[in-house]
Structures are given as structure tokens and as C-alpha cells.
Amino acid sequence: MMSPRLTGLADLPPGVERPRYDHAALGIGILHLGLGAFHRAHQAVHTDDALAAEGGDWRILGANLRSRDIPKALNAQNGLFTVLERSVSDRARVIGAHGPAIGGDAAAILRAACDPAIRILSLTVSEKAYGIDRTAMDADPAHPAVAADLAQPQAPQGVLSIIVAALAARREAGTAPFAVLSCDNLPDNGALLRAGVLGFARRRDPGLAGWIADHVAFPATMVDRITPATTERTLTDVEALTGHRDLAAVETEPFSQWVIEDHFPQGRPTWEAGGALFVQDVRPHEAMKLRMLNGSHSLIAYAGQMLDLPHVRDAMADPALTALVRRHMQAAGATLPRGAGLDPEAYAAALLARFANPAIAHQTRQIAMDGTEKLPQRWFAPAAEALQADGDARPFAFATAIWLAWLTTQEQAPDDPRGPALLELARKAGEDDDTLTRSVLALPGLAPPELAGNAGFTQAVRRTLTHIRRDGLRAAMATELAS
Ligand code: CS2
């Protein structure tokens, strides 16, 4: 196929959904950091719905701190891109919510963040990019970007430093601050990012930190839409449906959910038009999502890697693994607060159907990345709470054993900021599963100390780990299901 590049809406076929508003006439109001597939399939679509419903100068200026490919593609396409919703049949929708984009130019991002038109700065930069010590609730001076930015404050490169520098400049100029909206899968993401920003600002100027504490909103959010990485297949399917080559296209599932704390002093798009839910307290919703969806995703990811199941949907075609996923969801659901209006059973049923979507090829390898960043909120926090409440922590011990068993099969450092440290621990432990279990769980900030120090939990992990290494994961799964 040699189709023209997507640059306008005029010659799109009738079946393709397009912005129901004059997108080019609306101004920019949001600076978004992290133009990955998830942002384009989620917040961009919700913003498109909001603009269609009520207009407003709320289009998004997108930016990547490092990678230039997507910004370049968006700029060549006048900000337009296609979202391919995959289910029984595929649906293509062109999104108009994005304006120009910046790639790999921190100075330009900082300039944009100082523009008074920017009233929200949102982020999907992934868990590891923040540089926040979650135990200390402070900026992490050992994080590479934070360390570099503390050494060279005049040329900020990392997330915390850019936010702090922009807020400092706005304060100086008498410009009202933007609201800072983290859309990453981190527990209590608003409070966490606030703590990181204040910690970084304090090192620079305590007066500035006090001003940020008093004047800047950090609403928390829960975000959800299963979005596999874009592949060449995504692009050719989009091309077949739209008649255009789109180098910023994404594919995703039909489901989308966004729960947001309504704290935007300078206003916000009417995101509720696209189904976003505004609540007083996001935490129960977020715990349900992180523990049930993401927690069982991580179980599927490591089990899938061990069992040669390349996609989540393959795991859902495996009855034994599906039974263990159900069990995991149930244990995770049991840790959730009561009386918060949650329905964990209905949520679990919906998740199983979403995971099984035959049209979505979500790679277990992709989800297995960055385990040390993801597992604290997905497995270890609920496991500690389950123990505390005399509940069922066994499914979490089982999942942990699979992760460790998978680690022992890795010849190179896994794709994880602590990959080299994990590999080193696995090498040192050799066949000694007890040492491996204890040393990994003792990594700072990974598991709550009361979990890492709980003999019942660590022994359960160790026993299953040995069983997997000796008899294989299939045998350990059978034992688990029989118990
Ligand atoms: C996944 C998430 O890659 C992962 O770790 O668990 O990206 C997951 O697909 C999304 O959070 C779904 O909303």
C-alpha cells in the first residue's frame, strides 16, 4: 500500500470517526509529558470527547523528554492520529485533541510549561521516570535524572526538575501555576508526585517549596485502558481502514476508564463528557485497579513468559492459569476497603473478559518489564494488608515465586531499572532459593518490611520457588490448585 500521509480530515472514508468540532480553531491548554501509546489511547480520546461536547482552549501540546519519533510523526500530521479500537470488528477514530508536539528538547518543554495558556501539566512517563523515593516520599537523589538535575539545575532534564523550574518561573512572573496531573499507575499518584516535586523544590529553594505546597494542585487519578505497543500490523490495519499512513496510530480495547479527583484551580476540560468520573477520593478505585487488573496482569506476564504464552489472551485460553488468575483477583479484591462503593466480583468478571479479547495481542513480555517498579503496589502492598487482616496472602506468595523463578531463567539483566541488581542477586544465590527469596524481598522500597520479615510469607514463596525450579511451573500450578 502506498497511501498518503494523514494530515487532514477531508478525504477520510465515511466509516472513520473524526473530531466533531473545529479542532484547529481551539487553543492549547494542556502540556502533556509522555506521548506513549497509552496517553494517545486514553487521555487524548477523553479530551477529544470533552472538546466535542463543550469546546474550550484545552487542546494538548504533547512532549517526549527524549524520543523524537512520535512528536515528529504528529507534527507531520497536524497533530492528527488514529485510534484503532479492536474487538469483534475494528473501528478507527481520528483524534483532533493534539496540537504541535515537542520531542527530545527539554529547554523547549520548559518554555512551553511557562506559557500562561498552559493550565494543566499532565504526565504518562511510566513509573520509573519520576525519580521519587516512595518510602521517604521525597525526590530520590540516587535516581539518574534527579542526580543530574541537582548537579546542573540550570538545564533541567528530568520530570521533577522541569516541573519545579516551570513553577518557579511562573511564580516569578506572577503567572498562576498549572495543576499537575499524573496519569501513571502509581499508588496515590497525586500525593506521590506532590511529595517528589516538593522534595526537589526544597533542595533548590525552601520558599519555593512552601509556595508550591500552598498553591499547586496535584489531583490523583486512576487510569485504565489496555493498550498494547503499536506494531507494523497496527499501522497497516489503520491504513486499510482510513486510506492513510499514520505513524502515530495506536490500537486499544473498547473499554476505557478514568477516575479523577476534581481539583483544577484553573479549570479543566469537561472530561466527564467522555465518561470520566470525578470523585472526592480516588484511592479505593485505584487500589481496585492496581491490585486486581495490574496485579493479575503481572502474574500473567511472568507465568506467560515461563510457559511460552506470548499474549495475555493466550493465558486466558489456559484453564489452569485462568483459575489461578481468578484466585489472584479474589485475594486482591478481599484487600479493598468496604463501603467505598466498589464491586470487586463484577470487576473481576469484566477483567477476565477484557483479558480474553481475541483481537488484542498484548504481549506478556511488555507487562513483565519494570517489575520492581510495579510489584510494590500490585502485589506486595495487598499481600502485607492481607497478612495484617488474617486474610489470604498465598496467591501473592505464589505470584512472587513465579517472578523469582522467571528471574533465575534470565541470562541477561531483565528490563527493569534494578535489572542488574536482580541478576546479581540471582547469580549470588545460585540454587539457594531461601537466599534468593530473602535478598530480593529485602531490596529497599520493594516490599513492606513486615512482609519481607514475615516467615510464613517468605517460606511460602521459597517452597513454591523450589517446586517450580525442580518440577516446572505446570506442576507447581497443579499443586497450588489442589491445595
Ligand atoms: C500493564 C498496564 O504493562 C503493564 O504493566 O499492566 O499497562 C495495563 O495494561 C494498563 O494499566 C491497563 O489500564
pLDDT of 23: 96
CA of 435 from ligand 1 middle (Å) equals 30
Predicted confidence (pLDDT) at residue 70 exceeds the cutoff of 80: yes
**Which residue from 305, 411, 415 is spatially nearest to 363, judged by alpha carbons?**
305
Does the C-beta of 297 come closer than 6 Å to ligand 1? Answer: yes
Does the C-beta of 300 come closer than 6 Å to ligand 1? Answer: no
Q: In a mutational test of the pocket of ligand 1, which residue from 290, 297, 357, 416 has the highest number of ligand atoms less than 8 Å from its CB?
A: 297
Q: Whose CA is nearest to atom 8 of ligand 1?
A: 226
Predicted confidence (pLDDT) at residue 472 exceeds the cutoff of 90: yes
Q: Is the complex ipTM higher than 0.95?
A: yes
Mean pLDDT (the chain, rounded): 97
Q: Whose CA is nearest to atom 12 of ligand 1?
A: 226
CA of 434 from ligand 1 middle (Å) equals 30
Does the C-beta of 225 come closer than 6 Å to ligand 1? Answer: yes
Name the helix (H) or strand (E) containing 83: strand 81-86
Q: Which atom of ligand 1 is nearest to the CA of 225?
A: 13
Q: Which atom of ligand 1 is nearest to the CA of 366?
A: 3
Name the helix (H) or strand (E) containing 85: strand 81-86
Q: Which atom of ligand 1 is nearest to the CA of 38?
A: 7
CA of 424 from ligand 1 middle (Å) equals 27
* Model confidence band, residue 1 (pLDDT cutoffs 50, 70, 90): low
Predicted confidence (pLDDT) at residue 32 exceeds the cutoff of 70: yes
Does the C-beta of 458 come closer than 6 Å to ligand 1? Answer: no
Integer-rounded Cα Rg, in Å, for the chain is 23
Instruction: Return the C-alpha torsion angle 69, 218, 113, 165, nearest 10.
Output: -110
Q: Whose CA is nearest to atom 5 of ligand 1?
A: 367
Cell numbers describing residue 446: 520493594
C-alpha distances in Å from residue 176, one per residue of 120, 211, 215: 11, 11, 9
pLDDT of 2: 82
Does the C-beta of 256 come closer than 6 Å to ligand 1? Answer: no
Predicted confidence (pLDDT) at residue 273 exceeds the cutoff of 70: yes
Close Cβ partners of 32 (under 8 Å, ≥ 6 residues apart): 39, 43, 60, 61, 62, 63, 121, 122, 123, 124
Average the pLDDT over 112-122 and give the result: 98
CA of 297 from ligand 1 middle (Å) equals 7
Q: Which atom of ligand 1 is nearest to the CA of 223?
A: 13
Gap between the terminal Cα atoms of the chain = 55
Q: Whose CA is nearest to atom 10 of ligand 1?
A: 226
Q: pLDDT tens across 316-357, in order?
A: 999 999 999 999 999 999 999 998 999 999 999 999 999 999
Average the pLDDT over 39-49 and give the result: 98
Average the pLDDT over 21-49 and give the result: 98
Q: Which residues pair with residue 311 across a beta bridge? A: 363
Q: pLDDT tens across 352-392, in order?
A: 999 999 999 999 999 999 999 999 999 999 999 999 999 99
**Sign of the dihedral through C-alpha 363, 479, 325, 468:** negative
Domains in the chain with CATH codes: 23-279 (3.40.50.720), 283-482 (1.10.1040.10)
Predicted confidence (pLDDT) at residue 189 exceeds the cutoff of 80: yes
Q: pLDDT tens across 407-463, in order?
A: 999 999 999 999 999 999 999 999 999 999 999 999 999 999 999 999 999 999 999
Cell numbers describing residue 130: 519520576
Note if the pTM is more than 0.90.
yes
Q: Whose CA is nearest to atom 9 of ligand 1?
A: 226
pLDDT of 153: 87
**Which residue from 218, 253, 242 is spatially nearest to 38, judged by alpha carbons?**
253
Q: In a mutational test of the pocket of ligand 1, which residue from 367, 370, 372 has the highest number of ligand atoms less than 8 Å from its CB?
A: 367
Q: Whose CA is nearest to atom 1 of ligand 1?
A: 367
